[in-house]
């Protein structure tokens, strides 16, 4: 069956699409990494060997394989796609997580195999006995069985995965510093909507964010399903991004706003030939109208901003190149996406009023892995019985149907494209014996978009410096969650009902966290 015939069906598997691409364009470059490349024929054979090895080790439909490395490589992409071919779900974990977080996530997903590198292996070594996963190293290190030795032999053929639409495609974990982060289970049906071949076979996409991020996957998956080329950056670097984009004649890119800012601020940006670009995308964090305008003015090709959640639900899209007067918005609901605004009472608000954003579409998570209570909290049901996902964001539709975000109900901080939950950081600060109360807010940052800052009130008679408390918390959380500043205060400002007034803290902050 050809790729076009597969896509003509209501549902299909990415694995089958990639096998068809290997027949249709065997010599076309599929993956271009720093140390390796694979054509579609070579990729297909590697996926078969990976899937066969996983099935040999008991990881198949109903099972999970996890992957956690400090860089993005061709091997990482092979493991991701090969796991899907085995019929199992893939759980990509952030290497910036603490060892305790990684151990908790591995236990939660019950991975049978963990693909990792030396740096992650070193961090997990003291806790290896906590989980059953077999270690396979993607960097050739001796921390586990090297990937090349673990693979099934050349010519190995896995059993067909026979995955169903509701089967888990991947489990993406939210950030968190206490307890077990929530595992967002996305189904094959949900991902089928993300992999339609709308980029075209000539697409060359710059992959400059980690593959454990949903942001990356909504660009990576349609690239390979289209039969295009994914250029994998080990880590984001402005000069390397621009150099490779020029060299490969890149046509597409997905970048978070802070990456756009760093690129546009580069003094020699205009010397690079980026005329091959057809479309650029952004998501995951607030994208200022001024920055969008600068990208439109100086970077060839269109610009689309997506607004949505890893959990799925409803998404909006802003075609900035077509609506330059709407750059302050996140666009209109995508086709087939139902987005509504509800009040504190759970009832839809009137047109033009502010409310919490809830959404529904064909792209919705199954739920949070092993956490039905959290899943229920994330849902809103319409009067006619339709399931929506709550975003925690507050917004308002204008008269043209464009959504403007006003604030984030959950106080979520998005730093460098990564979610940070203030309540998690506040809980860690509360563990210090000198701390009476703490509040964490996100403040603007030129480098990260937003960055977390803490305000702490000490217990009567207690003594602790701001530097001491900064060292205390930053030694307990992941790299992406570390505080940029901490200020001591006599007491936190509160409303008449005792709620901490975080907006006052945020607006009154004049530190140097940027």
- Distance between CA 233 and CA 494 in Å, rounded? 45
| Calpha distance 119→111 (Å, rounded) | 19
Query: Does residue 496 surpass a pLDDT of 50?
Result: no
User: 382 in helix, strand or coil?
Assistant: coil
User: How far, in Å, CA of 476 to CA of 472, rounded?
Assistant: 7
CB atoms within 10 A of CB 383: 7
Q: Which helix (H) or strand (E) holds 248?
A: helix 238-248
pLDDT bin (cut points 50, 70, 90) of residue 193 is confident
* pLDDT at residue number 180: 62
Copy the structure tokens of residue 322.
Answer: 């077509």
Residue 409 has pLDDT above 80, yes or no: no
CA 141 – CA 188 distance, rounded (Å): 33
Predicted local distance difference test score (pLDDT) of residue 176: 47
What six digits make up the tokens of 198? Answer: 């709308």
**Whole-number percent of the chain with pLDDT over 70:** 96
| Residue spans of beta strands (DSSP E) within 154-291 | 168-173, 183-187, 204-207, 229-232, 252-254, 279-282
Average pLDDT over residues 55-68: 97
Average pLDDT taken over every residue of the chain: 92
Mean pLDDT of 356-377: 94
Query: Which of these, 428, 452, 439, lies nearest to 488 by C-alpha position?
Result: 439
pTM greater than 0.85 (yes/no): no
Radius of gyration of the chain (CA): 23
pLDDT at site 31: 98
How many Å apart are CA 134 and CA 137, to the nearest integer?
A: 10
Say if residue 97's pLDDT is above 50.
yes
497-511 pLDDT per residue, tens: 456 788 889 988 988
Question: Quick check: 214 and 307 in contact, CB under 8 A?
Answer: no
Model pLDDT, residue 499: 64
Q: Closest by alpha carbon to 150, among 124, 110, 123, 112?
A: 112
Reported as a pLDDT band with limits 50, 70 and 90, residue 306 is: very high
121: phi then psi, degrees, rounded to nearest 5: -60, -40
Q: Rounded to 5 degrees, what are φ and ψ at 152?
A: -65, 155
**What are the b/e assignments for 146-166, b being 16+ CB within 10 Å?**
ebeebbbeeebebeebebeee
CB atoms inside a 10 Å sphere around CB 198:
10
- Work out the pLDDT band at 44, boundaries 50, 70, 90: very high
Could you give the domains of the chain? Answer: 20-27+39-192 (3.40.50.12780), 193-307 (3.40.50.980), 336-408 (2.30.38.10), 413-507 (3.30.300.30)
**CA quadruple 39, 45, 49, 51: dihedral positive or negative?**
positive
Beta bridge partners of 280: 253, 303
pLDDT at 495: 59
CB atoms within 10 A of CB 39: 17
> Could you report the per-residue pLDDT of 236-273, keeping only the tens digit for each?
999 999 999 999 999 999 999 889 988 998 999 999 99
DSSP structure class, residue 129: G
User: Taking the CA of residue 398 as centre, how many other CA atoms within 13 Å lie in the half-sphere pointing to its CB?
Assistant: 14
Residues in the chain: 514
pLDDT at position 178 is 44
Q: Which of 322-326, 351-355, 462-466 has the lowest mean pLDDT?
A: 351-355
177: confidence class by pLDDT, cuts 50, 70, 90: very low
Q: Which pLDDT tens digit goes with each residue over 268-304?
A: 999 999 999 999 999 987 788 989 999 999 999 999 9
Query: How far is residue 236 from each of residues 232, 257, 278, measured CA to CA in Å?
Result: 10, 13, 21
Q: How many CB atoms lie within 10 A of CB 294?
A: 16
Q: Are strands 204-207 and 252-254 parallel, antiparallel or unpaired?
A: parallel
- Taking the alpha carbons of 429, 431, 433, 439 in that order, is the dihedral positive or negative? positive
Q: Find the mean pLDDT for residues 189-196.
A: 89
Tokens linked to 200: 């075209």
pLDDT given at position 194: 84
């Amino acid at each position: 069956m050809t790729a076009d015939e597969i896509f003509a069906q209501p549902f299909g598997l990415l694995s089958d699409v990639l096998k068809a691409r290997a027949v249709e364009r065997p010599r076309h470059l599929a993956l271009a990494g720093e140390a390796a490349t694979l054509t579609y024929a070579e990729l297909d054979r590697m996926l078969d060997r990976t899937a066969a090895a996983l099935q040999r080790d008991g990881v198949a439909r109903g099972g999970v394989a996890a992957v956690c490395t400090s860089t993005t490589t061709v091997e990482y992409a092979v493991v991701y796609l090969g796991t899907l071919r085995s019929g199992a779900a893939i759980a990509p974990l952030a290497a910036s997580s603490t060892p305790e977080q990684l151990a908790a996530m591995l236990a939660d997903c019950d991975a049978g195999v963990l693909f990792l590198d030396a740096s992650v292996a070193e961090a997990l070594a003291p806790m290896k006995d906590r989980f059953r996963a077999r270690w396979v190293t993607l960097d050739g290190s001796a921390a586990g069985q090297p990937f090349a030795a673990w693979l099934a032999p050349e010519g190995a053929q896995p059993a067909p995965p026979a995955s169903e639409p509701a089967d888990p495609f991947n489990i993406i974990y939210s950030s968190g510093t206490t307890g077990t982060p929530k595992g967002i289970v996305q189904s094959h049906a949900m991902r089928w909507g993300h992999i339609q071949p709308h980029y075209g076979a000539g697409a060359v996409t710059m992959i400059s964010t980690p593959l454990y991020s949903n942001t990356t996957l909504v660009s990576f998956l349609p690239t390979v399903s289209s039969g295009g080329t994914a250029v994998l950056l080990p880590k984001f670097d402005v000069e390397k991004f621009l150099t490779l984009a020029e060299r490969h004649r890149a046509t597409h890119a997905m970048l978070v706003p802070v990456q756009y800012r760093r690129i546009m601020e580069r003094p020699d940006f205009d010397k690079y030939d980026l005329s091959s670009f057809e479309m650029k995308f952004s998501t995951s964090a607030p994208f200022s109208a001024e920055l969008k305008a600068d990208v439109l003015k100086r970077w060839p090709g269109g610009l689309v901003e997506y607004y949505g959640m890893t959990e799925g639900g409803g998404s909006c899209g802003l075609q900035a190149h077509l609506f330059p007067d709407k750059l302050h918005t996140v666009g209109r609901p995508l086709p087939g996406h139902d987005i509504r605004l509800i009040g504190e009472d759970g009832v839809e608000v009137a047109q033009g009023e502010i409310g919490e954003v809830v959404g529904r579409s064909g792209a919705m998570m199954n739920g949070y892995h092993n956490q039905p209570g959290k899943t229920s909290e994330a849902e809103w049901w319409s009067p006619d019985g339709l399931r929506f996902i709550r975003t925690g964001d507050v917004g308002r539709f204008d008269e043209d149907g464009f959504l403007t975000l006003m604030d984030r109900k959950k106080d979520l901080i998005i730093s460098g494209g990564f979610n940070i939950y203030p309540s998690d950081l506040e809980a860690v600060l509360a563990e210090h014996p000198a701390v009476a109360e703490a509040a964490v807010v996100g403040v603007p940052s030129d480098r990260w978009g937003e960055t977390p800052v803490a305000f702490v009130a000490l217990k009567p008679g207690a003594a602790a410096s701001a530097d001491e408390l900064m060292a205390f918390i930053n030694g307990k959380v992941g790299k992406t969650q570390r505080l940029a500043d901490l200020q001591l205060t006599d007491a936190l400002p509160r409303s008449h009902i005792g709620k901490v007034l975080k907006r006052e803290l945020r607006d009154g902050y004049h530190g140097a966290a940027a």
